[in-house]
Amino acid sequence: MDQFDRKQRPIALQNSICGISPVKVYWDYQEGVGRRYTTKLRDIKHPETGETIAQYPQLVEQEHTRIVRDGPSVGPIDVRDFFWPDNSDDVQSARYIIHRVWMSIDELRALQAQGVYQNVDRLTESRDMYDWERTMWRSDELFLTNRKRKMVEVLERWGADGRCTVVANRTVLLKDYRPQDNDGKQMFWHGQKPFVVVSSSPQPFQFVGSSDME
């Protein structure tokens, strides 16, 4: 259901190259349109008077909303978009974990309409949203691509106290979820950061390992 066979390869390859491969854990809930058969009574009309003289059951197809997926999921993270304190022993004990994502302005406005984010309109007043286009990475030069084109840099900072702060363009606050906003509870019931780090050769007292290439 989670199509993990498609995610496992980039996770393993990134670990082999970099010695670390972060993964984000989240809850996947999807609804879709399904079809089912139901019984509906059909009238039998008198051929001359048009009066209903009888009824008979008939199977008809009917659309309904069904839950397609409702369960945990994981998503591979580009290690270039994953930041942590240098003196961290593991993900959960780290003072913070920052996950960078790239989103279009339309995606951010849609999330604001759903009540997830705020202050999205202020992005046009902040620094150039497309300033990252002038930053070239090796993969961009090799494959003539730019994953940052027309995208906004969004930083998710997950603190040790369960606080989640989301900032766009490093100046506009989109969200600040504190534990006290939910009666002292953290965002997730497990009370941990929603990240797991994969490393086949971890080093002592840190979760960054040695790459297989090295």
Averaged over 188-212, what is the pLDDT?
Answer: 82
Residue range 11-37, pLDDT digits in tens: 999 999 988 999 999 888 888 888 888
Q: Is 133 exposed, middle or buried (0-12, 13-18, 19+ CB in 10 A)?
A: middle
Average predicted confidence (pLDDT) for the chain:
84
Residue range 86-122, pLDDT digits in tens: 888 888 889 999 999 999 999 999 999 999 899 999 9
Neighbour order of strands in the sheet with 164-168: 82-83, 96-103, 152-159, 164-168, 172-177
Read off the amino acid at residue 140.
D
Residue range 144-189, pLDDT digits in tens: 555 666 789 999 999 988 889 999 999 999 999 876 666 666 666 7
The reported pLDDT for the residue numbered 10 is 92
